[in-house]
């Protein structure tokens, strides 16, 4: 190889090494995004179940036991705890939404 070819070969090797590092970072970033997606989907499923409990409770309050069973005594406490845990994920959602600035 002449000097030009040696220089090009060295550049190609450097580029290939950069690509390996970037690909590893991409895979790690995608893994984190998948975990975030799973957390958000889990929260959505929890909220849907909570909405169902609220609707059943409201139906009981409005129509009595003939339309819905009485809610358990601990329901309100557990639902309040659920709301608090969802508020703690506000930072996660803010962080994800902040990524929009890097997309355009």
Q: Is the pLDDT score of 25 beyond 90?
A: yes
Cα(57)–Cα(70) distance, integer angstroms: 7
Whether residue 87 contacts residue 37, with contact meaning beta carbons closer than 8 Å, is answered with no
Residue 2 half-sphere exposure, CB side, CA atoms within 13 Å? 1
pTM value > 0.75 = no
Task: Give helix then strand counts, H and E, for the chain.
Answer: 3, 0
pLDDT band at 76 (very low <50, low <70, confident <90, very high): low
For residue 30, the surrounding DSSP H or E stretch is helix 3-63
């Amino acid at each position: 190889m002449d000097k030009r070819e040696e220089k090009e070969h060295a550049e190609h090797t450097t580029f290939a090494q950069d690509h390996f590092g970037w690909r590893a970072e991409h895979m790690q970033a995608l893994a984190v995004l998948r975990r975030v997606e799973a957390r958000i989907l889990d929260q959505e499923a929890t909220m849907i179940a909570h909405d169902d409990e609220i609707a059943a409770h409201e139906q009981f309050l409005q129509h009595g036991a003939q339309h819905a069973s009485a809610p358990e005594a601990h329901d309100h406490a557990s639902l309040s705890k659920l709301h608090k845990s969802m508020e703690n994920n506000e930072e996660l959602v803010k962080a994800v939404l902040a990524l929009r600035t890097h997309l355009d």
